[in-house]
Structure 1
Amino acid sequence: MLGTVVTTSAALLAAPAAGLLGHRQVRRAALAKRLRVTAPHGIDESGFVRVGGIDQWISVRGDDRSNPVILEIHGGAGASNHVFLPRTRDWERHFTIVRWDMRGAGTTFAHGGPDGQGEFTLDRLERDAVEVTEHVRARLGVERVLLVANSFGTVLGLRLARRHPELYAAYVGTDQNIQAGGRERTAYDGLLSRLERAGKRKELATVLEMGADRTAWSAGRSAAFSKLALTTDPLSAETMKKVVMSSLWFSPLHDLRGLRDYGRAMTFSESLAPEAALVDEWAEGTAFRLPFFVFQGAADVLTPAAAAHRFFVDVTAPVKDFALIEDASHFAAFRRPERFLDLMLTRVRPVVAAG
């Protein structure tokens, strides 16, 4: 969904790169130092695991192996969460976090290239996720893991939570995506309003011609909509620059070739958008047999909180909770990592411990 935005912004960042490389190296070195796991009972492992017939990149990090285990399902599609490691380092003091670059994303994509990703469908990603979960359970010796999904990853995350509750201690969605089989139009109407207020007639005509039904959109149109939605909202545009692009540019895990591969992966993964648009969360089911949490950016214009809350209201679960993250649009957990961690510690962890 966001590949066009990231690729375009990366080009803008790279333009003055010659004068910034020295500063970039200093920052990357400082962030690499921050990422070191030195606790006596900590864990810091990464490498390829054979999943679904291809090599896929998985990292496991945390300061105490006895902490609850989180499996992150990243967004994008194709947007590895490894770039946000420095921003979420404090999470690893309370949780052991498994970050998986699914096929079409991050190091998995860079390793195999576009021709080495194999079958690329939501169903294949779901089966991959189950394999990854089983690998994590065996490797870390835990019965269940916390399932934490963001943005596009929440489409997959909801399916995992519904269909495999025995594997997961709870579901936590942020930037929770609600497709509703093409009926959900909160983000679309919000973009129309912003374009009208700004007097952007050309863009307004384009969006009106697209129509609100995402099931009729091509992958290119989905990408164009995401770009417009995020760049026409001041808070979202600031977040893209200061959180997303800054994390990419200064990532200690990504050299310049890695930045290029990151953008290529997101562009490659945009092909999933038309399939994802067909998902109807209500038709697939609102009954969950595990604790269910949604922590949403209060000002999210791409996956609006109002849409996520409508679905949340209809959910039945042993425990459920919904919270807004203030001063946050999309990428709420990465813009306000301290607030997200507080919600995980005060609302999620006690429920998991009691279960």
Structure 2
Amino acid sequence: MADDPASRPEEKSPGRKRAGAWATVLALVAALLLLVPVLLLPVSTAVPPAVWLPLLIAGLAAVVLLIARRRHARVRPLAVGAVAFCAVAAVVASQLLAETPPITDGDGRRLPGSIASLERVELNGTGQWITIRGHNTSNPVLLNLGMGGPGGGGFATRSLFEPLEQHFTVVSWDEPGTGKSYGAVPFDELDRERFVADAAALTNLLRERFGKDRIYLYGVSWSSILGIWLVQEHPELYHAFTSSGQMVNTTENDRLGYELALARLQEQGDAGGVEKLSSNGPPPYRGENVVFRYVEYLDVLNEIMGTPRLSFIVPIIPFLAPEYGLVDKVNHTFGIIRSFNAVYPKLENLDFVAQAPSLEVPVYFFVGRNDVNAMASLTEEYFNMLSAPHKELIWLEGGHGLDGSTQGQFVDVMVNRVLPAAS
């Protein structure tokens, strides 16, 4: 019996086949992109396997289904929708389950009497975030003002302070405008008065909570500026001020850095880089998005110091911090950009030689010999003229701030010189 054409399955035209293939490819790309938040959970967040593993299995199963049933048009939206659900669940879980890792003994058990807490605190009517870490809450309190910026926050450099947790209760602060405190304060309200008021409020909260008359203070780069302001206005609250990458005169510092970067590019024969810096001109910069003009020469300074470029490292750092959920990690990068744009132009007239020639607390400056971000020569000049009850300049064989190679020397001075001096 001859085939009846009417009984044959309808064949798709070549055009419809191509359209279907492209729709499958686009759906697969969308599904893989949506799977990224799930893939990030085990490597960059505190979300436990009991949560991320089912989400990963479900997401991968949806992708496999999409590939296996690629000719079935109805499968595409179902598979992409399933992966999208997993992605949303991953983001929510990362925010809700963010934590700072516990302090453990040699067997991996939580150390009795220790504290490792990620907390939201009220500072002058706004919710801001801190971590509190230490082996014993009766130890002196050290407030870490953050890793610089403005907008760097205090959580991403936790490992540098872990050796001090035996001797201090280390409190790190995500200042307003960054990380978990990203939306605490409108960016146009970020200024000296706001930062000092919030940091002083945090200091008083810690003094009351831990029963201390005074605490210790640490700042680096931008937060070293805030540290000077704090001890200048509230010396009665602090045992001592310690800093690395101490900023002194931002405009002079930046002009020296710009000239050094320009000379470096000229030596390398980098015509494009020279043209870019020359077109920007020397700092200070004003207007919108000033951060990118600063980064163009700061990247070169980091190269001189043998450290990764800021444009590379800034987006990477928050992804290593389990204290941040996935939204916080993104906000950390945006926070640095927006905080820098809002705050740094307001520092144009900063000059501690003239504005803070004397301080009423002991001062310890850790200075990298090769620091060309916060020029070591300016810090040394300020140190030499500074009047303080006690002052020390400690040279580090490094560049800007602290790193693994200088951590040991920093810890030794903090434990064996800074602590005994106040006892």
Q: What range describes the TM-score normalised by the shorter chain of this pair?
A: 0.7 to 0.9
Amino acid across the alignment from 1:54: T
CA distance in 2, matches of 1:147, 1:16: 43
The answer to whether structure 1 residue 279 and structure 2 residue 350 are counterparts is: yes
Residue 230 of structure 1: aligned partner: 299
Q: Distance in 1 between matches of 2:392 and 2:384?
A: 10
Give yes or no for contact 1:174–1:295 (8 Å, CA) kept in 2.
yes
Q: CA deviation at 1:233?
A: 3.8
TM-score (norm 2): 0.70
Contact 2:153–2:178, Cα closer than 8 Å, also in 1 = yes
Displacement of 1:283 in angstroms is: 2.2
The equivalent residue for 1:85 is 158
Tell me if structure 2 keeps the 8 A contact 1:52–1:131.
yes
User: Over residues 58-97 of structure 1, what are the superposed CA-to-partner deviations in whole Å (9 max), with x where a residue is unaligned?
Assistant: 2221111222211111211111121222343222122111
Question: Is the Cα–Cα contact under 8 Å of residues 180 and 282 in structure 1 kept in the other structure?
Answer: no
Q: 2:378 matched to which residue of 1?
A: 307
After superposition, give the CA deviation of every residue in 1:291-335 in whole Å (9 maximum; x if it has no partner): 011102222221121121111111111111111221x32232566
Amino acid at match of 1:294: F
Q: Distance in 1 between matches of 2:188 and 2:37?
A: 37
Q: Distance in 1 between matches of 2:140 and 2:403?
A: 18
| Matched-pair identity in % | 25
Aligned amino acid, residue 320 of structure 2: F
Residue 187 of structure 1 and its aligned partner are, at CA, apart by 1.9
1:202-251 Cα offsets, whole Å, 9 max, x none, are 3324434544452x544633442234323454344437599766643322
- State the secondary structure of the residue aligned to 1:70: strand
CA contact (8 A) 1:28 1:251 kept: yes
In structure 2, the partner of 1:325 is 396
> Which residue of structure 2 aligns with residue 25 of structure 1?
42
SS at match of 1:336: helix
Q: Deviations over 1:149-180 (max 9, x none)?
A: 11111111111112211111011111111225
Native 8 Å contact 1:296 1:332 kept in 2: no
Q: Indicate conservation of the 8 Å contact 1:161/1:168, yes or no.
A: yes
CA contact (8 A) 2:246 2:379 kept: yes
Q: Which runs of 5+ in 1 are unaligned?
A: 1-14
| Cα RMSD for the two superposed structures | 3.2
5 Å-filtered alignment, 1:210-221, equals 210-214=280-284, 216-218=285-287, 220-221=289-290
* Secondary structure, counterpart of 2:159 in structure 1: coil
Deviation string for 1:119-161 (max 9, x for gaps)? 2212111111111111111111101111101111111111111
Alpha carbons of structure 1 residues 290 and 33: separation in structure 2 relative to 1, 3 Å: closer
1:40 match: secondary structure? coil
> Are 2:101 and 1:35 aligned?
yes
Structure 2 residue 209 is matched with structure 1 residue 139: yes
Match of 1:266 in 2: 336
Report the equivalent of 1:103. 176
Larger Rg computed on CA atoms: 2
Q: Is 2:37–2:326's contact at 8 Å kept on the other side of the alignment?
A: no
Structure with greater contact order relative to length (CA < 8 Å, sep ≥ 6): 1
How far is the alpha carbon of 1:46 from its aligned partner?
2.8
Give the 3 Å change call, closer, same or farther, for CA 71–251 of structure 1 in structure 2. Answer: same
Aligned match of 1:53 in 100, 125, 129? 125
Alpha-carbon distance in structure 2 between the residues aligned to 1:20 and 1:52 = 34
The verdict on how the C-alpha distance between 1:232 and 1:314 changes in structure 2, with shifts beyond 3 A counting, is closer
**Aligned partners of 1:230 and 1:237 also within 8 Å:** no
- Cα deviation for residue 20 of structure 1 reads 11
* Change over 3 Å in CA distance of 1:180–1:76 after alignment to 2: closer
Structure 2 letter corresponding to 1:321: E
Could you report, residue by residue, the CA deviation over 1:252-292 in whole angstroms, capped at 9, with x for unpaired residues?
A: 22233222111111112011010012212122121111101
Going from structure 1 to structure 2, the CA distance change for 1:249 and 1:183 (only over 3 Å counts) comes to closer
SS at match of 1:139: helix
Q: Is 1:158 aligned to 2:228, yes or no?
A: yes
Alignment-mate amino acid for residue 141 of structure 2: V
Secondary structure at the aligned position of 1:59 is classed as strand
Q: Is the 8 A contact 1:154 1:173 kept in 2?
A: yes
Aligned with 2:128: secondary structure?
strand
Corresponding residue number in structure 1 for 2:89? none
Kept in 1, the 8 Å contact 2:291–2:337? The answer is no
Quick one: structure 1 residues 131 and 34, their matched pair in 2 at CA, closer, same or farther if it must change by over 3 Å? closer
- What does residue 269 of structure 2 align with? 199
SS for the counterpart of 1:278 is coil
Please give the residue correspondences for 1:177-192 in structure 2 after superposition, counting only pairs within 5 Å: 177-179=247-249, 182=252, 185-192=255-262
Answer yes or no: is the 8 Å Cα contact 1:195–1:232 preserved in 2: no
Number of aligned residues:
334
Aligned partner of 1:127 in structure 2 is 197
